[in-house]
Amino acid sequence: MAGTATTHYFASEEFRMKQEKTKLFTCSPHEVISNGDYKQTTYCHLLLGLFFHKEVECITSTFAYSIVQAFSSFEEQWEDICKDIKEGNVSSKITWPKMRKAVLDIIEPNPILASRIEAICEGLQGSDWFGLVPKLWPNAKYVYSIMTGSMQHYLKKLRHYCGSLPLVSAEYGSTESWIGVNLDPSLEPEKVTFAVMPTFSYFEFIPLYRQDQYSGSGSVDFIEDDPVPLSQVKVGQEYEIVLTTFTGLYRYRLGDVVEVSGFHNETPKLKFICRRKLLLVVNIDKNTEKDLQLVVEKGSQLLSKHRAELVDFTSHAKLTHQPGHYVIYWEIKGKVEERVLCECCREMDASFVDPGYVVSRRTNSIGPLELCIVERGTFKKILDYFIGNGAALSQFKTPRCTNDRTLLKILDLYTVKRFRSTAYG
């Protein structure tokens, strides 16, 4: 059956055997893990995770997004979870009979634990849930997940929930082939590199050169050279990865841009840069996922000064009116004055450094950047839309740029405020 690598892995005998061998067991049984209803499974994961709180040594999910998402739903559901622990019951929200039965077979009433968790949560509410993980799981040693690339945005929130607990950035892989391992788990996620395992697939690398001129065609992001094998890559050079796999993909372009940052013995260590596809293009401008990430980070710094935070974001190059312009959608937690949001919008517009963008903005062949603030919960609706179309929560990555009509409809429907940049006069 077609599916993502992790879906197959969690259903496999290997997954069960690995738990036996490493003596690292999951709190949830198979009936919870394999259920496709992410809201109900998240609830059960949290319930069982707390029921076994003393034994929990590590908290993990494939992508960091799902961990943040789980704890943000915990903020809303902790009272129900405590009630279930107190009574040894499962909330009526859990409607899947097999899943209900599997959880009910495990939990027993534990009023002492329930009131301890309640007291901790009441305290945590006052500090906006800072340090939730070490407080609720005092024996947890680390949090393990993919935190690089498009997951980097969730690091801030993850650090907030984890306090000083180490964050271990997981491996670099894809459904098509696993690629590299993080040999230095104690490194900050921002500094992590991945040593390629030369036996996972036959790897080739297409050298990529950034266009420093804005004279190139708008649809070309990098100039490519001929692919080189693993043994011929050079430190400091950016490449797109090409895979020939044991399962039959021949010279498959993965679409990821990586930079060789050094070697481990003779295998290269890769720094993940971004997805290859250009994100935002109006005319001669070229901005990637990484460029957008940096700009949004800069713009949202102003939010933290006003005790607000950026929950999630996406973008769109709007071409329906001339001149075209970038639209960035933000979901924010906390109240922020319009004056501050106006400044965030200006700051983002001024922070794109791509020469194509800067020149186009100066000549007004790209219009002022638009910042749209969406209602709280909009990105959850987007997640539901993707899940409804067959995506798995564990594989979900918020699209950082979209042309999807339904998605844009959702975003526009829930936009509550709009700002246009005043940068460039």
The verdict on 272 binding ligand AMP (CB under 6 A) reads yes
Please tell me the distance from the alpha carbon of residue 298 to that of residue 355, in angstroms, as a whole number. 18
d(CA 274, CA 277): 9
Residue 335 and residue 130: Cα distance in Å, rounded? Answer: 19
The nearer residue to ligand AMP, 148 or 402, going by C-beta atoms, is: 148
- The yes or no reply on residue 238 touching ligand AMP (CB under 6 A) is no
Among 175, 232, 301, 304, binds ligand AMP (CB under 6 A): 175
- φ and ψ of 117, to 5 deg: -65, -40
Write down the least CB distance from residue 211 to ligand AMP, Å: 22
Say whether residue 9 binds ligand AMP (CB under 6 A): no
Nearest-approach distance from CB 397 to ligand AMP, in angstroms: 7
Q: How far is it, in rounded angstroms, from Cα 367 to Cα 360?
A: 8
302: tokens are: 């102003």
**Which is nearer to ligand AMP, 260 or 372 (by Cβ)?**
260
Nearest to 150 by CA among 270, 281, 261, 293: 293
Cβ-count burial of 204 within 10 angstroms (0-12 exposed, 13-18 middle, 19+ buried)? buried
- Asked if 395 is part of the footprint of ligand AMP (rule: CB under 6 A), the reply reads yes
Residue 261: left (phi > 0), alpha (psi -120 to 50), or beta?
alpha
Q: Is 173 in the site for ligand AMP (CB under 6 A)?
A: yes
Applying CB under 6 A, the span of 20-28, 143-151, 324-332, 348-356 interacting with ligand AMP comes to 143-151
- Mark the segment that binds ligand AMP (CB under 6 A) among 13-21, 144-152, 223-231, 297-305: 144-152
Question: Judged by CB under 6 A, does residue 172 bind ligand AMP?
Answer: yes
Our finding on whether 148 is near ligand AMP (CB under 6 A) is yes
146 in contact with ligand AMP (CB under 6 A): yes
Q: Provide, rounded to whole angstroms, the least separation between the CB of residue 152 and ligand AMP.
A: 8
* Least distance (Å) between residue 146 CB and ligand AMP: 4
Element of type H or E holding 135: helix 132-136
Q: Nearer Cβ to ligand AMP, position 65 or 419?
A: 65
The answer to the question of residue 315 lying near ligand AMP (CB under 6 A) is no
Q: Shortest gap between Cβ of 194 and ligand AMP (angstroms)? A: 7
Binds ligand AMP by CB under 6 A, chosen from 26, 72, 110, 174: 174
Q: Select the residue whose beta carbon is closest to ligand AMP and give its number.
A: 149
Nearer to ligand AMP, 79 or 188 (CB): 188
Question: Which of 380, 397 has the CB closer to ligand AMP?
Answer: 397
Name which position in 53, 269, 275, 276 contacts ligand AMP (CB under 6 A).
275
List Cβ neighbours of 295 (8 Å cut-off, separation of 6 or more). 348, 351, 352
Nearest in space to 314 (alpha carbons), one of 370, 248, 384, 265: 370
Closest CA to 58 of 136, 142, 138: 142
The stretch near ligand AMP (CB under 6 A) out of 50-58, 170-178, 245-253, 257-265 is: 170-178
**Which are the contacts of 237, defined by CB distance < 8 A and separation ≥ 6?**
207, 259, 260
- Of these, 204, 221, 256, 370, which contacts ligand AMP (CB under 6 A)? 256
Total residues contacting ligand AMP (rule CB under 6 A)? 14
Sequence-separated (6 or more) residues with CB below 8 Å from residue 305: none
Of 18, 106, 63, 99, give the one whose Cα is nearest residue 396: 63
> Pattern 59-98, binding to ligand AMP, x per CB under 6 A?
----------------------------------------
Nearer to ligand AMP, 360 or 402 (CB): 402
Q: What gap in Å lies between CA 302 and CA 336, rounded to an integer? A: 10
| Nearest residue to 297 via CA among 105, 155, 107 | 155
Cα–Cα distance for residue pair 88/383, rounded to 1 Å: 31
How far apart are CB 262 and ligand AMP at their closest, in Å?
Answer: 17
Which residue's CB is nearer to ligand AMP, number 133 or number 155?
155
Contact assessment for residue 155 and residue 167, using Cβ atoms and an 8 Å cutoff: yes
Please report the DSSP string for 269-329 in residue order.
EEEEEEESS--B-SSS--B-HHHHHHHHHHHHHHHHHTT-EEEEEEEEEE-SSSSPEEEEE
Question: Which position among 149, 268, 324, 367 is part of the footprint of ligand AMP (CB under 6 A)?
Answer: 149
DSSP category for residue 204: E
| Residue among 145 and 300 whose Cβ is closer to ligand AMP | 145
Q: By the criterion CB under 6 A, which residues form the site for ligand AMP?
A: 4-5, 146, 148-149, 172-175, 254, 256, 272, 275, 395
